Amino acid sequence: MSRHSLTGVFRWVVASAALSGVLNCFGAEQAAPGGKLDALHKELVSALDSFERGGRWKDTDSSTLGWGCGQDLQALLYLYQAGGERVWLDRLLKYAETMFANLTPNRDGFLSWRSRGYSLAHAEVRPAADNRSQAMLAPREEWSDDALVSRQVKDAEFRLVAQKDGTFAVESAADKQALPAIRYEIGKPFAGPSGIPLTLKAAPAEGDSFTLITRRPKDFDFAVHEGMVLMPVSRAIELVKRDEALTAAYGERADKLLRVIETQLIPKWDKYWRETKEGGFLVFPTDPGFRPSGATMPHNQYLPLGTVQITLHRITGKAAYKARAEQMARFFQSCLRLVGDHYEWNYWDSAGEWDKPWDKPAEKRLEDTGHGSLDIGFVRACAENGIVFGDADLKRFADTLIGAMWNGSLDKPTVGGYVNSKKPTRQSGNLQEWVMLCKAQPRVQRVCEHIIPAEGSLWAKAQLYFLWAAESAKQPNAGNDAK
């Protein structure tokens, strides 16, 4: 089946309930995509082939899977929806099954992917009781948020013995193995074993010793990482289960994935769920090794799981999924500010007393374009499923892009890196989900199609390809440069 044929592309586009109304994106001011459709398809295929060779989908770190693989899964999903070619669904399910096979129990017994990349290493220094001087090696105890240090730290114990030549002899306490000596200057920081920064306060006597105990960062579950994976996976499951031919081919595989999502990956977040009069949201673990310990998650970190639960509600009909997404929507809605005709919002907002240690002006920065795309995706899912937000809200979010972020030019268009700024940043190409607001404001499509092919993320390019394929199906000759 040709991906440009009316019976191919158009059938699959119209069949996509979550993207219903997409053909309304194309206003009179928008030209047909022409030969750009094939060029973008080639680029997407090349990127996905590179993803296949790279093997990141075999990793176990949630950050790699979420940020490193989530966009590739979305690209596969949109390529499949654009033309119905099963090769893309085959690959998406293969990657998902590999990822799910690498799930392991967390500290609560739920299957999960985890990461140590955002948590803190711990160091403790103990002077020997028989030291002859009053010299102290600082810090006595510290949680280090230095990412470089944290990556090096292991669970270990070291003995440092002062020498008369201004060095410490170092040995591993576990096996008494001698390690390279470390030179010090009193009062100046130096790198201790595992890179832990140490400072000697006062001169030690020869033979004075100190025990350094280090603990590697704990691994934690991250809602946003799982949301990034589960959004395209749950959508693929939905596509399989609502089509008889796909159910016959993939139904058993889809059911296995769905069972893990419903019994493990969604319920484990219940202990982090909070509700206030404004709505519901997730909080981070309360643990000294996590920062910000116990704080409300930024909007972009809990909303992707809301998007997943909207899909799960469509698949299963279970009211609890819709109810939780509705609570998330109400809380996020309470944090929006109407500025003229568009919305403005923060990356993070305080939700209660537990946030007081973190509720500082520096934390109230505006949402950025890339992370904001996850907020937009959730709002779009809500509006399309009759949950809290509606068409008027989508128009206001579209006007954020057009009125507050776009520089107003179609010759050299740019968008800002934050929702209140026209100044581009490295986030400006992350126009995934923003581009899908073309249903509410057709000019969004015109602006994004000038930026995404050169600067857009893979996910953004896949969504643009989907939109262009829809237009090509609507006007079969639109892809012909000779017309």
Give the Cα separation of 179 and 171 in Å (integer): 5
Within 13 Å of residue 284, how many CA atoms lie on the same side as its CB? 24
pLDDT in tens, 279-292: 999 999 999 999 89
What tokens were used for 460? 């953004």
Q: Where are the beta strands (DSSP E) in 145-220?
A: 156-162, 167-172, 178-183, 190-191, 197-201, 209-215
Of 303, 299, 368, the C-alpha closest to 336 is: 299
Domain co-membership, 94 together with 183? no
| Residue 1 covered by a domain | no
54 and 105 housed in the same domain: yes
Given pLDDT bands bounded at 50, 70 and 90, which one contains residue 477? very low
Band of the pLDDT at 150, cuts 50, 70, 90? confident
**Residue 440 sits in the same domain as residue 338:** yes
Q: What's the number of CA atoms in the CB half-sphere (13 Å) around residue 208?
A: 19
Please state, in angstroms and rounded to a whole number, the distance separating the CA atoms of residues 386 and 378.
12
Q: What is the pLDDT of residue 288?
A: 93
Report yes or no on 301 lying in a domain. Answer: yes
Please tell me the distance from the alpha carbon of residue 115 to that of residue 451, in angstroms, as a whole number. 33
φ/ψ of residue 191, rounded to 5: -85, 120
Asked whether residue 264 falls in the same domain as residue 326, the answer is yes
Q: Any residues with CB less than 8 A from the CB of 219 and at least 6 apart, and which?
A: 114, 115, 116, 119
DSSP class of residue 192 equals: -
**Does any domain span residue 145?**
yes
Distance of alpha carbon 323 from alpha carbon 310, whole angstroms: 9
Residue 8: count other Cβ atoms within 10 Å of its Cβ.
Answer: 18
* CATH code of the domain in which 262 resides: 1.50.10
Residue range 248-276, pLDDT digits in tens: 999 999 999 999 999 999 999 999 999 99
- Res. 2: pLDDT tops 60: no
Average pLDDT over residues 359-363: 82
pLDDT score of 13 more than 50 = no
Q: How confident is the model at residue 299 (pLDDT cuts 50, 70, 90)?
A: very high
The helix, strand and coil proportions of the chain, stated in percent and rounded to the nearest 5, come to: 50, 15, 35
Work out the mean pLDDT of the chain and round it to a whole number. Answer: 91
* pLDDT score of 33: 61
Q: Report, as an integer, the average pLDDT of 316-342.
A: 98
Average pLDDT over residues 172-190: 95
How far is residue 460's CA from residue 198's CA, in Å, rounded to a whole number? 46
Residues 332 and 444 in one domain: yes
**pLDDT band at residue 482 under the 50/70/90 scheme:** very low
Q: What is the predicted pLDDT for the residue at 364?
A: 82
User: Is the model more confident about 475 or about 382?
Assistant: 382
Residue 99 in this model has a pLDDT that exceeds 90: yes
Are 52 and 180 in the same domain?
no
From 155, 184, 215, give the residue that closes a domain: 215
With b for 16 or more beta-carbon neighbours within 10 A and e for fewer, the 136-170 pattern comes to bbeeeebbbeeeebbeebeeebbbbbbbeeeebbb
* Contact criterion met (CB below 8 Å) for 208 and 132: yes
Q: Helix 70-83 crosses helix 86-101 at what angle (to 10 degrees)?
A: 150
Q: Are 7 and 1 in contact (CB under 8 A)?
A: yes
Structural domain harbouring 380:
6-114+221-479
- Of 121-135, 146-160, 218-232, where does mean pLDDT reach its minimum? 146-160
The domain tally of the chain equals 2
DSSP letters along 98-160, please?
A: HHHHT-EE-TTS-EE-BBSTTB-EEEEEEE-TT-SS--EEE-SEEEE--HHHHHH--SEEEEE
In this structure, the answer to whether residues 227 and 196 fall within a common structural domain is no
Tens-digit pLDDT profile for residues 414-440: 999 999 999 999 999 999 999 999 999
419 falls within a domain? yes
Write down the pLDDT at residue 149. Answer: 79
Q: What percent of the chain lies above the pLDDT cut of 90?
A: 85
Question: Among 182, 215, 248, where does a domain finish?
Answer: 215
Mean local confidence (pLDDT), 105-117: 96
Q: Cite the beta strand spans of 258-385 per DSSP E.
A: 273-276, 279-282, 337-339, 342-344
Judge if 164 and 108 occupy the same domain. Answer: no
Q: Which of 182, 177, 209, 178 is nearest to 196 (CA)?
A: 182
Across the range 294-318, mean pLDDT stands at 98
**pLDDT tens digits along 15-60:** 443 344 555 565 544 555 668 999 999 999 999 999 999 999 999 9
Residues 182 and 299 reside in one and the same domain: no
What pLDDT score does 151 carry? 81
pTM beyond 0.75, yes or no: yes
Mean pLDDT over 196-222 rounds to: 95
User: Does any domain span residue 49?
Assistant: yes
Same domain, 184 and 274: no
3-class state of residue 483 by DSSP: coil
Instruction: Look at residues 215, 238, 273 and tell me which one is the last residue of a structural domain.
Output: 215
pLDDT at 481: 31
* Number of neighbours of residue 42 by Cβ within 10 angstroms: 10
In a domain, 17, yes or no: yes
Whether 105 and 183 map to the same domain: the answer is no
- Which residues, in sequence order, are CB contacts of 300 under 8 Å at separation 6+? 224, 347, 367, 371, 372, 374, 375
Question: Same domain, yes or no, for 338 and 475?
Answer: yes
Res. 447: pLDDT tops 60: yes
272 within some domain: yes
